[in-house]
């Protein structure tokens, strides 16, 4: 087996060496030599891949015709009059209110009506008037017996309910 394989390899080698002569492209035609093609040494120059092309002349566009702009008006408004604001009827203020330290209220305070749970234990709320800063409350904390409304900058209002009375305490 070894001898058969070596004989096949040897014959393939002989065929390859015998056919290694100059390749024949067509009967009676051989490839030209590099000297016959006048090739320069490789890498000395780069082939020119870009050809100069002149763009056609562009004519300017004709001027636009002078047309006066149309006069536009605002679309008709469905409500020409200002809207009417209906306010709710004023709720009666709770009368049993005690105010502590009113001089500690914010200097720019405005009277504000706020709802408070009914101090008599009934369902719903009662309304009281306090003096609050024009800005809204920053924090509202509910404790067991009191509610603290913090307006920032050290101003707060404490609301307590005792025996049917609401105590409003201003702190700065």
* Per-residue confidence band for 172, with pLDDT thresholds at 50, 70 and 90: confident
Helix (H) or strand (E) holding 162: strand 156-162
Please give the full DSSP string across 59-125, using - where no structure is assigned.
PPPPPPP--PPPPP-PPPPS--SPPPPPPPPPPPBPS-EEEE-GGGS-TT-EEEEEEEE-TTS-SSE
pLDDT exceeds cutoff 70 at 85: no
Q: Give the start-to-end residue ranges of the domains of the chain.
A: 97-171
Distance from chain centroid for Cα 40:
62
pLDDT exceeds cutoff 50 at 81: no
In SS3 terms, 35-65 reads as: CCCCCCCCCCCCCCCCCCCCCCCCCCCCCCC
What is the rounded distance in angstroms from the CA atom of residue 102 to the CA atom of residue 130?
10
pLDDT exceeds cutoff 60 at 67: yes
- Of 132 and 33, the structure prediction assigns the larger pLDDT to 132
Number of Cβ within a 10 Å radius of residue 33: 9
Q: Are 124 and 118 in contact (CB under 8 A)?
A: yes
pLDDT exceeds cutoff 80 at 91: no
* Per-residue confidence band for 2, with pLDDT thresholds at 50, 70 and 90: low
Of 161, 156, 159, which is closest to residue 171 (Cα–Cα)? 156
């Amino acid at each position: 087996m070894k001898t058969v394989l070596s004989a096949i390899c040897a014959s393939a080698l002989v065929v390859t060496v015998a056919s290694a002569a100059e390749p024949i492209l067509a009967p009676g035609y051989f490839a030209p030599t590099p000297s016959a093609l006048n090739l320069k040494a490789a890498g000395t120059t780069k082939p020119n891949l870009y050809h100069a092309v002149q763009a056609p002349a562009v004519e300017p566009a004709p001027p636009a015709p002078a047309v006066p702009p149309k006069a536009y008006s605002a679309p008709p408004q469905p409500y020409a009059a200002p809207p009417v604001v209906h306010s709710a009827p004023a709720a009666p203020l709770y009368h049993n209110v005690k105010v502590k330290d009113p001089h500690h209220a914010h200097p720019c305070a405005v009277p504000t009506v706020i709802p408070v749970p009914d101090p008599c234990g009934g369902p719903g709320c009662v309304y009281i008037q306090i003096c609050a800063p024009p800005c809204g409350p920053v924090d509202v904390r509910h404790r067991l017996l009191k509610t603290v409304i913090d307006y920032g900058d050290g101003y707060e209002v404490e609301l307590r309910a005792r025996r049917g009375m609401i105590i409003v305490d201003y702190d700065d």
